[in-house]
């Protein structure tokens, strides 16, 4: 799995393939620093509703006979208490990586392509992403976030979940 830990060792010279993949995926999603700002703004809302989002996600997966074959914690409570709850919290509270700008700048715009993936990995991961995105959007819609900010925070939420799920597909074996 791609290490996105802010404390991860950052190469002094050319970034390794994992950082290149991360930068390229961010660029493909048009993920910007402004998205990080929007996510930090809504972090308290997402954090307070994490259990609701996780229960919605779990119900969606378990209700689908195909998805439930691949992903089945015993109960919704176990799922809500799993590392997915931690992941959900980290989506909005990552904080900036101080060296991020230098990492991004070290990778040219014409850096090439991402490493190839097995298509079935993306199929399953994108199927798992939809209910998280939708549940998060419902929480954001129901919150007291200003109406003019709502479209922006929903886009940032979509990008953060999509980027994270795409990164799950990039294991060190790829």
3-state secondary structure 116-163: CCCHHHHHHHHHHHHHHHHHHHHHHHHCCCCCCCHHHHHHHHHHHHHH
| Residue 1 resides in a domain | no
| Residue 55 resides in a domain | yes
What's the total number of domains in the chain? 1
Is residue 153 within 8 A of residue 161, CB to CB? The reply is: no
Q: What DSSP state is assigned to residue 12? A: S
What SS3 state is found at 33?
Answer: helix
| Residue 81 resides in a domain | yes
The residue among 37 and 71 whose pLDDT is bigger is 37
CA distance 60 to 68: 9
For the record, the structure tokens of 56 come out as 């919605």
Q: What is the pLDDT of residue 25?
A: 81
| Residue 91 resides in a domain | yes
Return the biggest CA–CA distance within the chain.
48
The residue among 128 and 171 whose pLDDT is bigger is 128
Q: What is the pTM of this model?
A: 0.76
Does the pLDDT at position 20 exceed 90? Answer: no
Q: What is the pLDDT of residue 4?
A: 46
Provide the residue range defining the domain that includes 134: 17-168
Cα 151 to its chain centre, rounded Å, is: 18
Q: What is the pLDDT of residue 163?
A: 85
| Residue 9 resides in a domain | no
Q: CATH number for the domain including 129? A: 1.10.490.10
Closest of 33, 2, 32 to residue 15, by C-alpha: 2
Is residue 23 within 8 A of residue 103, CB to CB? The reply is: yes
Q: How confident is the model at residue 144 (pLDDT cuts 50, 70, 90)?
A: very high
Cα 124 to its chain centre, rounded Å, is: 15
Q: What is the pLDDT of residue 136?
A: 94
Q: What is the pLDDT of residue 138?
A: 95
Q: What is the pLDDT of residue 112?
A: 62
| Residue 174 resides in a domain | no
Q: What is the pLDDT of residue 10?
A: 46
CA distance 122 to 171: 12
| Residue 150 resides in a domain | yes
- pLDDT above 90: percentage of residues in the chain: 25
| Residue 21 resides in a domain | yes
Range 14-30 average pLDDT:
75
Q: How confident is the model at residue 141 (pLDDT cuts 50, 70, 90)?
A: very high
Does the pLDDT at position 28 exceed 90? Answer: no
Does the pLDDT at position 86 exceed 70? Answer: yes
CA distance 22 to 99: 14
């Amino acid at each position: 799995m791609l290490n996105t830990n802010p404390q991860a060792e950052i190469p002094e010279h050319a970034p390794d393939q994992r950082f290149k993949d991360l930068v390229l995926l961010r660029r493909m999603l048009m993920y910007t620093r402004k998205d990080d700002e929007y996510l930090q703004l809504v972090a308290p809302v997402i954090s307070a509703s994490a259990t609701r989002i996780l229960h919605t996600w779990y119900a969606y997966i378990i209700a689908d006979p195909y998805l439930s074959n691949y992903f089945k914690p015993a109960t919704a409570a176990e799922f809500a208490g799993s590392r997915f709850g931690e992941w959900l919290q980290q989506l909005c509270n990552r904080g900036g990586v101080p060296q991020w700008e230098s990492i991004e700048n070290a990778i040219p715009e014409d850096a090439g392509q991402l490493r190839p993936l097995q298509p079935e990995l993306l199929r399953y991961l994108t199927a798992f992403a939809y209910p998280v995105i939708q549940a998060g959007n419902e929480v954001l819609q129901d919150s007291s976030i200003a109406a003019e900010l709502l479209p922006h925070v929903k886009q940032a939420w979509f990008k953060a979940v999509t980027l994270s799920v795409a990164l799950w597909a990039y294991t060190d074996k790829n």
